[in-house]
Amino acid sequence: MSGISETPLDSYVINQTTMAILPVEEGKRVYSKVIERETSFYVELKPMQIIERSCRFFGSSYAGRKAGTYEVTGISHKPPTDRKTLNIKGFVGDDPVF
């Protein structure tokens, strides 16, 4: 992975220390670089997969959170999705690697 010697994790759940989830292309695969308050590491999932799985882990869905955000804010393009349980706001871009 671009000279990174660490082994990527196979899964990750967004939590209170999550600061960013960035796409990293390695050959034909897309990984995520997760940046937490005091560390960073790679995960073998695309950023959107981490977001969707984290929503499900906390008993919701990305589509449901996106629809709820639209109802409250009227924002439909690149809406902030509030994860109140985690006190995190996520902004999903229209980057094809998501």
pTM, 2 dp: 0.74
Judging by DSSP bridges, how do beta strands 18-26 and 40-43 pair with one another?
Answer: unpaired
pLDDT truncated to tens, each residue of the chain (98 aa)?
A: 454 457 999 999 999 999 999 999 998 999 999 999 999 999 999 999 999 999 999 999 989 988 888 888 888 777 665 555 444 455 555 444 44
Q: What is the pLDDT of residue 53?
A: 96
Instruction: Answer yes or no: are the C-beta atoms of 15 and 24 closer than 8 Å.
Output: no
Instruction: Please tell me the predicted confidence (pLDDT) of residue 37.
Output: 92
**pLDDT at residue 79 in the model:** 65
